[in-house]
Amino acid sequence: MTEQERASTRHTASAAAGEPPRAPQRPHERTHHGHTVSDPYAWMRDREDPELIAYLHAENAYADARTAHLAPLREQLFQEIKSRVQESDLSVPVGDGPWWYYARTIEGQQYAVHARCPRTGPDAPRPVLEPGAIPEGEQILLDGNAAAAGHDFFSVGALAVSTDHRLVVAGVDTEGDERFALTVTEVATGTILDHEITGVGYGAEFDNSGRYLFYVAVDDAWRPYQVWRHEVGTPRADDVLIYQEDDERFWLGLGGSRDDSHLIIGLGTKTTSEAWILPADDPTGTWRCVRERVEGVEYDIEIAGETILIVHNIRNREGDLAWTELADPSEWRPIATSLPGERFLGVDAFDDFAVLTLRADGLPTLRVLPRDAATESGFGEPQAWPVDGELTAVYLADNPEMATREVVVTEESYIHPRASYAVSPLDGTRTLLKRQPVLGDFDPANYAESREWVSAADGARIPVSIVRRADVGQDGSAPGLLNGYGAYEISSDPYFSVARLSLLDRGLVYAVAHVRGGGEMGRGWYDEGKLAAKPNTFGDFVAVADALRGGWVDPDRLACEGGSAGGLLIGAALNLAPDRFRFAHAAVPFVDALTSMLDPDLPLTAGEWEEWGNPLADPAAYDTMAGYAPYDNVQATEYPAILATTSLHDTRVLVTEPAKWVARLRELATNDPQTRPILLHTEMSAGHGGRSGRYDAWREVAWEWSVLLDQLGLADGSLPAVHDS
């Protein structure tokens, strides 16, 4: 037996006996800016190390042993989720040329079937089908269940149809590392024409002839940095490099214009962007830059005939809308500017109008600009989009056709399922196309949602979303779960969750802290929670926790959760205020942030310096991160019960980070493992998003929430009397 096999046997036997695993320590020190730090778990950096794999298996065995008594509750939660879902269902069909495109799910199958059926004309009514029915004349683009056969993981990173609707390219990942294999198929016959391209990034686009396919390559650090042109059916060795981005701060993406006239390469850092365009009829032609990058200038383009619409931040950090000429985009002329409380995000152009996407008063919404020949730009003033509900999020759905009199828009909130409407922007009429079905006795009137405000230590007013059963009062007796993220200008917007109903129906108050570092309140909100101001994010979260405790929530039964950068938030908040929480769930948590930002060879690091600072080169950035990085600040104190969940193949946050964090918590925390366990659970065949199949994902949620409910004293499985008020 090898030493690694002995270690695995030793670890697993210890876990099975109910003893928390103890990770081996190996001497390691790092020195930066005069600071020498001991890191005895640095050896975990190699995620292929047999000792690390053995440790992860031991942690899984321990987590299984410590939660074995929750098996009935897990099954109950899974069945509750499953019973509310219409398992055979069809998405809203999207019209594009002679076809309706849609995805459908089949009861008992994990993945969606992406397909299309004939459309008799631009005014043909959308097909309306009973659940489980197959549209007449259906052609399959990608059957996820067939493609996933034999694999523990499956996800789609590209799905694009050629302009003539003859070909489809699908990008598939079966490892979880977000590297995709592309397959080109003739849709009508199902004949595979090309499977040469593997190990690439998100996105792929055909030229207008369908002869060429453009795709994105990633570097060793998983940064999308190249665009290649591939002739369908030829060896990959003959592919032509179109663009390479050498500035390691920039990522690139690939897309096409709605009118099929151009292919578009978008490049960006956290603060700077650049766009290149190519006529889709001229695939071997020369790409043209819309405007060369200027540090700190961000812009997003939409091609509308001979005009380009642009959302940019040249004069206003919250965004302006401008236009320029496609033939000569050098002069940008104003159309509209964001008002106080607004943040312009992007624009979509159609033949008779444009739709501006923005944030207003902390929520995503839309504005309509009618075509107006009397104006220089050809568009009139933005008109407000009517919205019902205090916490309703409004989005423009997939609308691929320029020549349309109506667009599909989706609306949802925490308690109202997603609804899709066909809206005529010029007269405001709208028709409900589909509302997400929720089976059983669900009634939105039995639940309540509201927006509250909490003052942070520096006086900033933090928005908080509160979701609860309607009969749960603000008397400080309810269990609660506080969610947060707070990074990258990503907003935690209202969304409906069937699974969340299992928590609400047990009387739990669900709260979202819209802390600084996110984008809820605009670019300024983001700027106040990044770089040197990053500690604001953590202080905001603790301030919200303090406001909830004794207000909505029993002070002894408040839990918290966050994932990825939100996992960093959870780890930092626990170090700041471990006594505020009874339980914490950190999902794929970025908890060893300082170590990662010191290593530019890791995925994402160099591009992240504009978010967190560069501690490798900047002593002040080092000191700031050293002051909050969760792994570096674990204390010898009692923490809440903790569940860290991660995946072996995660590219964004390596499994190393939560593994090291849990090892250090085990070393220093004074927790009683019987009442406040510290658990690590690793999906051994998944990536950053966890398990990929929908039934597997529901079981994963049920497992996590059974631990949460157990720690909040709700593990007996019974549902309290509900909806009495």
Q: Of these residues, 564, 647, 692, 706, which one is catalytic?
A: 564
192: β partners: 185
Q: What share of the chain is helix, strand, coil (3-state, %, to 5)?
A: 20, 35, 45
Rounded distance, CA 216 to CA 267, Å? 12
DSSP state for residue 101 in the 8-state scheme: E
Terminal-to-terminal C-alpha distance of the chain: 65
Taking CA atoms, 696 is separated from 13, 175, 470, in Å, by: 27, 15, 31
688 is catalytic: yes
Taking CA atoms, 61 is separated from 142, 583, 667, 668, 692, in Å, by: 37, 20, 19, 22, 22
Tell me which residue has tokens 């597997």. Answer: 696
What ranges make up the beta strands (E) of 305-442?
307-312, 320-325, 333-337, 342-349, 353-360, 363-370, 383-384, 393-396, 407-412, 419-423, 430-435
- What type of residue is 188? A
Rounded distance, CA 603 to CA 227, Å? 19
Q: Of these residues, 262, 514, 681, 688, which one is catalytic?
A: 688
162 is catalytic: no
Q: DSSP states of 50-89 as a string?
A: HHHHHHHHHHHHHHHHHTGGGHHHHHHHHHHHHHHS-SSE
Q: How many CB atoms lie within 10 A of CB 505?
A: 17
650 is catalytic: yes
Alpha carbon 536 to its chain centroid, in Å, reads: 22
CA-wise closest residue to 323 among 343, 303, 342, 339: 303
Query: Phi/psi at 148 (nearest 5 deg)?
Result: -85, -5
Q: Of these residues, 592, 650, 692, 710, which one is catalytic?
A: 650
CA-wise closest residue to 591 among 575, 572, 573: 572
CA-wise closest residue to 560 among 576, 573, 547, 550: 573
The size of the chain, in residues, is 725
Q: Indicate which residues carry an active-site annotation.
A: 564, 650, 688
